Amino acid sequence: MNTENLTALKAVFEDTPAMVELANACAKAYCEGCGNPDWYSPFTADDENFAINAAGPQAVLTGIGVLATMRGHLTPDEVDAQVLPILTDIAAGDVTKAERIILHREANGTWGAGQPFRSRTTNVFDLLDPDEVAKDWVQIETAANGLLHKLS
């Protein structure tokens, strides 16, 4: 079985400094997308912001498998072969409307999973303001670009 790309992705997610770097890039992109780059403040793995901003990369990771399945690639070998093309498509914004919504739902679900540990805030993707959705997409694209960079 060939799972070289999936194994490389797993290694990135297990590399704390690499994930902190990626989560910081996502946080910075989000703040810039809000038009408030001064909101961004770098953080470490021990900071709560790390967990909050790791949602984008996690959404992309799980989204790769979902998009590969939607595209008809079902076995680990087939999914592995789609890692780089799917990351490239996400980074370029070259995904279908359905794929984009799925990635947004993945991000919303990933972010929401951590909320019980912080507060009682819950956001339902379908009720998000379009500006929030757009800012979330910036994080998803940033995560995909970062993961592509880490795999190359």
Question: What is the per-residue pLDDT across 47-79, written as a single tens digit (0 to 9) for each?
Answer: 988 988 888 899 999 999 999 999 999 999 999
Q: What is the tens place of the pLDDT at every residue in 96-151?
A: 999 999 999 998 888 777 655 556 566 778 888 888 888 889 999 999 999 999 99
8 Å CB contact between 75 and 39: no
8 Å CB contact between 26 and 136: no
Q: What is the pLDDT of residue 121?
A: 62
Say how far apart CA 31 and CA 139 lie, in whole Å.
10
Domain boundaries, the chain: 4-151
Q: Whole-prediction pTM value?
A: 0.90
Q: Taking 80 as the threshold, does the pLDDT of residue 12 lie above it? A: yes
Complete DSSP assignment for 62-117: HHHHHHHHHTT--SHHHHHHHHHHHHHHHHHT-S-HHHHHHHHHHHHHHHHHHGGG
* Contacts of 82-85 spanning 24+ positions with Cβ under 8 A: 83/5, 83/6, 83/9, 83/151, 84/5, 84/148, 84/151
Q: What is the pLDDT of residue 15?
A: 97
Say how far apart CA 88 and CA 32 lie, in whole Å.
22
Q: What is the pLDDT of residue 120?
A: 56
Say how far apart CA 147 and CA 84 lie, in whole Å.
9
Q: What is the tens place of the pLDDT at every residue in 19-58?
A: 999 999 999 999 998 899 999 999 999 998 898 888 889 9
